[in-house]
Amino acid sequence: MPLNPVISKLANKLVVLASASPRRQDILRNAGLKFEVVPSWFKETLDKGLFKAPHEYAVETAKQKALEVARRMPFKHRKTPDMVIGADTIVTVDGMILEKPVDKHDAYRMLSSLSGKEHSVYTGVVILLCHDKENEEVDYQLIDFYEETKVKFADLSESMLWEYINSGEPMDKAGGYGIQALGGMLVECVHGDFLNVVGFPLNHFCKQLDLIYNRSTSSLDLDSSSVSLSENSPHSNSHSSSAKHRPSSSSSKQTHHNKKSPSTSPLHKVKRIGSDSEASESSLKLVNSSSKHADISDTTTVPLMTSRGQLSEHEDGEPKKKDLQKIMDLMDGFKASKALFTASKMCVFDLLRSKPGLDAEQVAQEIKASVKGTVCLLEACVSLGLLKSKEQNFQKPVYENTDLASRFLLSDAPFSLHGYIQHCDNTIWPLFSHLESAVKEGASQHDKAFGKKSKDMFQDTVYYNQEVKLRFMNAMHSIAKVTGRAVATAFDLSSFKTACDLGGCTGAMAYEFTKAHPGLSVTVFDLPAVVEMSDRFTPLHKGNRMSYVAGDFFEDELPKADLYILARILHDWPDERVHILLKRISDACRPGCGVLLSEIFLDEDRGGPSRGLLQALSMSVGKQRSATEYSLLLKSHGFITAHVRHTDNMLDAMLCIKE
């Protein structure tokens, strides 16, 4: 069905494409349609979990794009369009929706998931007809539909994947490939509309225009209270009927749809006051058209905002205290963290170790703070179980450390977390302050948090300046001291005589291995800027069985060893770099050599532990994995998992042997 039969009817109309996609523009221009391009400002942040099927998400996104442009144009562009076309293309595989990759590593993830499989490409399209009415009122008629095309990828080699990714082509395309260009070399076969995969289902669009302009038995005059079509919709599984639409008496200008009278007409009347340009989408009720594979009697409604204090439809009765407490604890969690960070930074715990029994005024004088602020901080720490207060003879309460604070919060305690707490306060807290942006963009907010774009965050950290370097090493030293013994004693390592702790930082972890295994010698391998500072942390650790070698484990030759230790390393790096590192280790190993991996192992259903899943929210280039995922990762480089140990500490452990 060519566009020619309806071209004359569109010739004097203002048609707007609410998309910046050059591919959609080319498809429509090549078909002879004249239009303006006004890219939508709608942020594509709809919750995919709210949609029963992938095509519903694509259609709803297209709808919101078109509505945003239609509402904006009368005010920003001083004109009302006659037609707005919105479209959104997604790729789905194994139940996941793939949109545009955020970076090369995201593109690798997408394309790897498509390799050797058949996937679906959906494009949701909305045609929005706009009509100026009296009193600045604008009427809209909305037609939505979608098209599905099946695409089968060939089995892709790593070299082909990275060659394509490095071409730059995947970055602005749903699913990470463009079938009309270099991406065509990845495709084995296509079932359905090829142009749909490119970005716009032209054939289906033309049929809808024909249905609107050439086959309607009723006028498009929106003053009419009924709209009907005499022809069936383009797909055989739809049927023909009519529907009555009456403006609601509510102030929101809703149009209600009688579900007892389903309609295959793609024309539905939606009224809103044009001057209310910033009104919420909640004032609209849009009725789905005869979309492919859709129940045409369905309605898609965004509910109106309820008044403040109004109860929900499903009242559960009196909320339980424990449920409320759990939510309140989550809401207050950031306050507790910041109280801990502040007390640690102001050395409150060290002060009360050296001078126990001080009152708030005395503590305030020592830490150079206000009395009021100090009282609040001390009382908060008491409530958190970090301090205890004593009152004697009606005098001011005095404060002491609890056993918990003495074990973990003193700067020189054997299991001190003081360094890691500083790291959380100075590095993690600023990143999480931009969590909303991180979630929307799927990327670390390092530049917003620190005003500096980071290409390699670890390299930037250790080379940035002396203070930042020491703070980072203190944090790693803290974690290694607390977790080192649990990791070092997780397995019998008596068959190994030499070990290399890759990225071993201060040597605290390596030292625990030498203590737990008297026959084992350990080499710490880390960047030169780290190794040169190691004396500040481990003067007592050095001996005949510990040594340091400076180098980059991605670039330099790895020290020879029977066992390679990877503690808190792999989760920091993208898949590409992880595979490079594991290949280098595999090449350095002979059969019988081992890799001891220590990370937070996620539950197999990814339901926990929350510590690992919350850490993933930092949106670093790496990712958290389950024990099975790590095992498969190592297996791909010739290592067979011998043992997995979920410790009672902060890190778990896995021992793998080279075949």
Is pLDDT of 248 > 80? no
Of 10-24, 38-52, 93-107, 283-297, the poorest mean pLDDT is in 283-297
The candidate with the shortest Cα–Cα distance to 530, out of 506, 512, 566, 546, is: 506
Is pLDDT of 657 > 60? yes
Q: What is the mean pLDDT of the chain?
A: 80
Is pLDDT of 109 > 80? yes
Type of residue numbered 208: Q
Mean pLDDT of 136-145: 83
Distance CA 97, CA 165 (A): 19
pLDDT-derived band at 238 (thresholds 50, 70, 90) equals very low
Type of residue numbered 148: E
Distance CA 348, CA 110 (A): 49
Of 57-71, 205-219, 311-325, the poorest mean pLDDT is in 311-325
> To the nearest whole percent, how much of the chain has pLDDT over 70?
79
The answer to whether 559 and 536 are in contact (CB under 8 A) is no
Give the tens place of pLDDT for each residue, 454-498.
Answer: 555 555 554 456 777 888 888 899 899 899 999 999 999 999 999
Distance CA 213, CA 174 (A): 32
Is pLDDT of 188 > 70? yes
Is pLDDT of 299 > 80? no
The answer to whether 591 and 658 are in contact (CB under 8 A) is yes
Q: For 454-505, give the DSSP string.
A: -SSHHHHHHHH-HHHHHHHHHHHHHHHHHHHHHHHTSS--TT--EEEEET-T
Q: Is 88 a catalytic residue?
A: yes
Catalytic residue among 26, 47, 82, 88: 88
Give the tens place of pLDDT for each residue, 495-524.
Answer: 999 999 999 999 999 999 999 999 999 999
Retrieve residue 122's tokens. Answer: 């959906």
pLDDT of residue 135: 63
Cα dihedral: 399, 405, 411, 412 (round 10): 110
Give the tens place of pLDDT for each residue, 587-640.
Answer: 999 999 999 999 999 988 888 889 889 988 887 888 999 998 999 999 999 999
pLDDT of residue 460: 53
pLDDT of residue 4: 60
pLDDT of residue 231: 32
pLDDT-derived band at 242 (thresholds 50, 70, 90) equals very low
The answer to whether 305 and 280 are in contact (CB under 8 A) is yes
Mean pLDDT of 267-288: 37
Of 21-35, 242-256, 434-448, the poorest mean pLDDT is in 242-256
Is pLDDT of 302 > 60? no
pLDDT-derived band at 77 (thresholds 50, 70, 90) equals low
Across-strand partners of 657? 594, 640
pLDDT of residue 297: 32
pLDDT of residue 519: 92
Distance CA 459, CA 444 (A): 16
pLDDT of residue 234: 31
Type of residue numbered 177: Y
pLDDT of residue 455: 54
pLDDT-derived band at 266 (thresholds 50, 70, 90) equals very low
pLDDT-derived band at 287 (thresholds 50, 70, 90) equals very low
Distance CA 274, CA 278 (A): 10
User: If phi over 0 gives left and psi between -120 and 50 gives alpha, with beta otherwise, what is residue 470?
Assistant: alpha
pLDDT-derived band at 247 (thresholds 50, 70, 90) equals very low
Retrieve residue 596's tokens. Answer: 């001891």
Distances (CA, A) of 504 to 82, 205, 207, 457, 479: 65, 60, 64, 17, 12
Of 23-27, 49-53, 215-219, the poorest mean pLDDT is in 215-219
Distance CA 67, CA 263 (A): 22
Which range in 253-257, 405-409, 435-439 is most confidently predicted, on average pLDDT?
Answer: 405-409
